[in-house]
Structure 1
């Protein structure tokens, strides 16, 4: 720590001191010495070993005299200046953040870290412990467990439904074999493709667990029908499988045709659902192979002969009779049915505009962060006082497990802080949602003066732009104009009832000391702007020109002015600046010092200056209900032509999702048509089958509207999947009708015959599929309510429209 008065007294500059330290702190190789018997290496040792060595370093001054470095200030063997402090539940702590490398498995890294921590804990001093306060893999593992539970429960429910319809244990077992066979084979395909067992792949299997038995059930039901008609099981398996073969293949490939585009959607949606779509496609294809090979083989040898009248009574028989009557009435009133269908579709389409829009629904996770910003330049003790006040107000919540308070940050800024909040899990007794807890905390800290408080949640897709629900980017070349517009717009957004935690990336304007160089004087005195700036930086912030090299570590040697000098404007003004002539000149002689304000940070987007406005939505508010009032305020302001704006984060991804949805829908429709046209070898039959698609949209939109669910990425995926599922039922009906027509049956008679015959397999596959989806749709498993928030939307769409 140099003293400005001593430097001035001896005519020395801080840069001259640093250069002297670098030259002296060296161990020099100085050649070799050869003797009669050996050769010796010569080394000149002059490196510093202790702080006392540094203090006693001689410095030559004017007049040929010498002084020691300690005559110019104090040489202190101490630590770095404290720029941040951390407390865990009120106790002093040191925070270590561990991040996985790209390409490594996050769960494996966490498990390896736990093992290493156990080893380290054995060597810790008494009273010291290591606590893992935040762990993202906890959510991953809980999501995995919930998906597995849903997969198992869904499979059991689907099998129960099959048994209720078939009323034969052997037949149920034959159909149920398709589930484990398809799942296990899909795991092998996932391994070959390099996929991991994660939330998306497990959810894909949980979704299709009811579909995996579809092909087997259709084959088996047709075999049983022939057995009931008097055929032997072996002959029935051959006839039924050949008869239904085209329909089964067509239905499976129609489903695959709509799942594959999901995996190739662009942007974040495509990245999230690539493994999802391909996993579903693989599992459904394997189920087709099982249905065409294993199911008829087992049926031929294990099924017993069923009496002809076994299924001609009871509830299902009465349903078949009622359905045949309804179908006959519909055929006699074709125009009315067509008009009614058109009206239903026409009424349902506008519902899409009434639905709230969003990207991904918020999930009730166990952790979030409270961010606190103070006035720029606030010292650490001031920040810590505010942080302790925030901590004292929220620590009393019974649902909080850990509070990790940090004043300052890793970047050296002392005017902000954060409190990481780790809640108790539902298994640990938490009854209140994270949204209610945040609402309660907001009330408790709303009246703390001198700071801005905002909340940040952990999201599935999480980056800087998505740290808040809303991120609005303003871009332009004039920074002052951007600041004025951003401040004005932020104040207007703050008044919107459904929005909270409004902040800007520019923050508060920071107070700055501006040094304006007189270029003429600087040139006359031989001082460059670089030398001046480096000298000021060295004097105030400090410079590390060299290090003390110890056997186990390296210690920085920092050169700067002592506190009394670097906080004194007069002494800084008299600071000596080196010149090209070798003489030193004072700062005041070539520059003017003044105080100004400036932005704390400057960011760019597409090479233009940018200011971001960030905000959060009130609990229960969908993204569309946030975007619309913000867009209205922007329109009212009539931004200057020099300023552009763009919604980022979840808003950008929401628009990206709907932008990708239309091409995916069109691609799926084209694929379905091409597959059906190739299977039926006809151009018009595919149109007949695909007439069910408009009603799938009607059912999806109506379901979302009734349940007040947002039309987001999950619902969009559900709508795409519906296209393949509703096509399946149409294929079964039309295929058998075509078969009967080829046998010479009249059109209406063929329809009245095929409808009741195909009613049972359609009912079986539909209800089995719905049963397989129920654990996720109704969140029946313990982990699904929290880990799969929002994933029930596509399943509800499917249940309502199938």
Structure 2
């Protein structure tokens, strides 16, 4: 450039300095600036195997990078999967050991016990084969189904072996006694197996998370039960023949079993002679269970200690990226003092709804496996410490997997209060009242309004009449405005093998004050350079809040997490608090979140339970061809639900979707005992025994 023939140097009208491109996102890890990236596996890929391949690739990369550059994983979902699988495997082993001990105690024969014990690994292996046939992956839910089926896997084998031992103890010899003993129990075992498996049919109709979680589990259970029956019929007799054919002296019954049988016979005889006790007992346990049920803790899904924490934060809207980063460095110091933290990462300035919300971000904190405190204790500590330092910053703490499950179901938080109406200001006012009212409810944390406040904005309002006089249009003024704030890459220079852009822009102190912005010069075809204020007005306004519609109505939500308390208890207190609030005309309230999902799942599972009972009754009718017999078996089985309620209450276990599914599963399993008892009773009746003696003999058998 030159003026009147005199060259004008750039340094005379501007400062030239080398800078990195303006940051809109800051990422850190372990108290250092970092570059973070996510690796997503293919839906059909093995997550654990993908993790191993990533580890191997990282080892190769580390060999070719500078020594002062560190590469590490800051979160690996496969770690949680591997811990869960390891825990399930240990439970399977413990289950096999316990079952083996009890089998020996009651059979009192090492050889006979081996006939059953050998069946367990065969059953497990064949069940794994069923995984492949049913296209099921090896995960926590399918292995959970396998753990639940460990006892079922040997039920049929125990029945076969025990009946063989019983016949041998009566002096019967040879293969003919073995064949007779097996055929004697095949029919009731088949009926019991069909009845148990048919209970699982209604689970096919479960939807959403309940279906995703528990459908694979019941498929494993059904497969295991069928495999158990087939092995008991075809393999167990052969093993029994091998193991006890040479055992000449089989004890009739051990001391423990003898005492159990004697006590059982006395109790059963007393009950049969006083049938009114049965009806009184049924009425009593039903009454007690109805009293206890309302006092049960309730929830949606089980809560587990995952070992990872997400900390979402929101500084006041308008906080710069640099200031937000400065505040977050102080939170990092809090995290650094927690000895159970293994690694963490932080993102500041990210978002989908807004290009660069500099005041938002999140931490992802991974804890050590051998930590001294639980994840929940660390969450409580972090929340208390951060609020103590920065009360003006909104934070939410939760584990990773529950948050992802919420994303899958579209639920923002475990507790959501939705406020509907057509007057947006009235909705915001009502939501604020609700937030204030529920803040003292024990178990609620991270309470906030579900309104996304935008950052303050500059509005450049064009005076169209004046702009036209100067030969300008709103589009041209908009282009100059962008140059004012963001500058423009006017050229590029070569630096090594790269082309580096040269951006021309105003200094920052000219871009953050209204009076300076209004004095910016823009070129007019009719008047040359004129200040921006001659054709436009600059104003600062609060950014527009996010507006949500649902089912054609405006909606504002109040969101909260649950901490250290069951969902049902929190919801009961929440409902009581909402009753105290004066709701304006035209405004309505509804509860959503985990409570809504729980109610929907419970409704589905109740339908499944009713359908399962109808199917059981139908099978019993076909098997026994007697309505009275079928009803008696069904009543005895349904009464067991009362004891499930007692168990949940005594162990302080929440009644959630998992417990509900377990209850339905137990119905199918417990009915086996009733089928076997009635079948042997009917056989004794055919031998000429009267009903009471027939029942007593069947019970002892």
Asked whether the two chains share a fold, i.e. TM above 0.5, the reply is yes
CA RMSD of aligned residues (A): 3.5
Q: In the alignment, is residue 614 of structure 1 matched against residue 559 of structure 2?
A: yes
SS state at 1:219 partner: helix
Q: Is the 8 A contact 1:219 1:240 kept in 2?
A: yes
Q: Is the 8 A contact 1:220 1:295 kept in 2?
A: yes
Map of 1:28-67 to 2, 5 A cutoff? none
What TM-score, normalized to structure 2?
A: 0.89
Cα distance between partner residues in 2 of 1:517 and 1:667: 68
Cα distance between partner residues in 2 of 1:583 and 1:739: 112
Structure 1 residue 653: deviation in Å?
A: 2.4
Change (3 A) 1:195 1:641: farther
Match of 1:503 in 2: 448
Cα distance between partner residues in 2 of 1:536 and 1:119: 49
Q: Is the 8 A contact 1:219 1:296 kept in 2?
A: yes
Q: Is the 8 A contact 1:263 1:277 kept in 2?
A: no
Q: In the alignment, is residue 456 of structure 1 matched against residue 435 of structure 2?
A: no
Match of 1:364 in 2: 305
Cα distance between partner residues in 2 of 1:688 and 1:259: 22
Match of 1:155 in 2: 96
Structure 1 residue 712: deviation in Å?
A: 0.9
Cα distance between partner residues in 2 of 1:519 and 1:235: 107
Match of 1:636 in 2: 580
Change (3 A) 1:160 1:336: closer
What TM-score, normalized to structure 1?
A: 0.78
Q: Is the 8 A contact 1:344 1:698 kept in 2?
A: yes
Change (3 A) 1:505 1:71: farther
Cα distance between partner residues in 2 of 1:542 and 1:647: 49
Q: Is the 8 A contact 1:235 1:300 kept in 2?
A: no
Structure 1 residue 164: deviation in Å?
A: 1.6
Change (3 A) 1:716 1:307: same
Q: Is the 8 A contact 1:692 1:726 kept in 2?
A: no
Map of 1:206-605 to 2, 5 A cutoff? 206-304=147-245, 310-312=251-253, 314-409=255-350, 412-426=356-370, 430-449=371-390, 450-460=392-402, 462-464=405-407, 468-508=413-453, 510-516=455-461, 536-537=481-482, 539-541=484-486, 562-573=507-518, 588=533, 591-605=536-550
Q: Pick which of 509-518 and 145-154 moved more.
A: 509-518
Q: Is the 8 A contact 1:356 1:625 kept in 2?
A: yes
Structure 1 residue 550: deviation in Å?
A: 11
Change (3 A) 1:319 1:85: same
Cα distance between partner residues in 2 of 1:328 and 1:556: 96
Match of 1:108 in 2: 49
Q: Pick which of 446-455 and 121-130 moved more.
A: 446-455
Q: Deviations over 1:386-434 (max 9, x none)?
A: 21222223422222222434443365322134333222212xxx22222
Structure 1 residue 466: deviation in Å?
A: 5.4
Change (3 A) 1:89 1:324: same
Q: Is the 8 A contact 2:106 2:256 kept in 1?
A: no
SS state at 1:421 partner: strand
Q: In the alignment, is residue 624 of structure 1 matched against residue 568 of structure 2?
A: yes
Structure 1 residue 447: deviation in Å?
A: 2.1
Q: Is the 8 A contact 2:455 2:543 kept in 1?
A: yes
Map of 1:658-677 to 2, 5 A cutoff? 658-677=602-621
Q: Pick which of 624-633 and 595-604 moved more.
A: 595-604
Aligned length: 691
Q: Deviations over 1:250-292 (max 9, x none)?
A: 2212221223433542221111112111111111111111111
Map of 1:737-776 to 2, 5 A cutoff? 737-757=681-701
Change (3 A) 1:70 1:626: farther
Cα distance between partner residues in 1 of 2:346 and 2:122: 51
Of residues 66, 76, 82 in structure 2, which corresponds to 1:135? 76
Q: Deviations over 1:444-474 (max 9, x none)?
A: 3332243223312223553346574423344
Q: Pick which of 530-539 and 709-718 moved more.
A: 530-539
Q: Is the 8 A contact 1:512 1:596 kept in 2?
A: yes
Of residues 24, 36, 51 in structure 2, which corresponds to 1:95? 36
Q: Is the 8 A contact 2:182 2:233 kept in 1?
A: yes
